[in-house]
A = this chain, B = another copy of it.
Amino acid sequence: MLKIEHIGIAVSNLEASNKLFASLLGTECYKTEEVESEGVTTSFFKVGESKIELLEATNPESPISKFITKKGEGVHHIAYAVENIKAEMKRLKSEGFVLLSEEPKRGADNKLVCFLHPKSTNGVLIELCQEIK
């Protein structure tokens, strides 16, 4: 893994949380993006080489809605930047990790992404991200 690409945080009200995180981090949100396939609106803050990604559900079937109903607001996933997502998916699968898709999917912020099931990773939902060049 090259670095922590971002930490995804599930929030109920993106507008209020954008203000809260701008105040906490001392920097403004630099981008907001809707990812229709995941049922979320996301916003991004830079912290060093990493980002904080806030996620608000756009519908009740969104994974973020379900997460907040079950666990409340909080850290939803940790995303690691990888050079070659297909090679990492193959390596991790061979080491016993459970991938949530067989192929990389298009994610927010111009990335190819794949998630690992938290049951295979100590309860932490892991995302792999490869930048689309």
Contacts and interface: CB of A to CB of B under 8 A. Distances in A.
B50 A25 contact: no
A1 B52 CA distance: 12
Which secondary structure dominates chain A's binding surface? mixed
Using C-beta atoms within 8 Å of the partner chain, give the interface range for chain A: 35 or more
A73 B7 contact: no
Contacts of A47: 1-4, 80
A123 interface: yes
Interface string A27-44: 100000000000000000
Interface in A105-133: 116, 118, 121-124, 126
9 closest Cβ pairs, A-B complex: A3-B48, A74-B123, A73-B123, A75-B75, A73-B122, A4-B50, A23-B95, A1-B25, A72-B123
Interface of A: 1-4, 7, 9, 11, 17, 20-21, 23-27, 47-50, 71-75, 78, 80-81, 91-92, 95-97, 116, 118, 121-124, 126
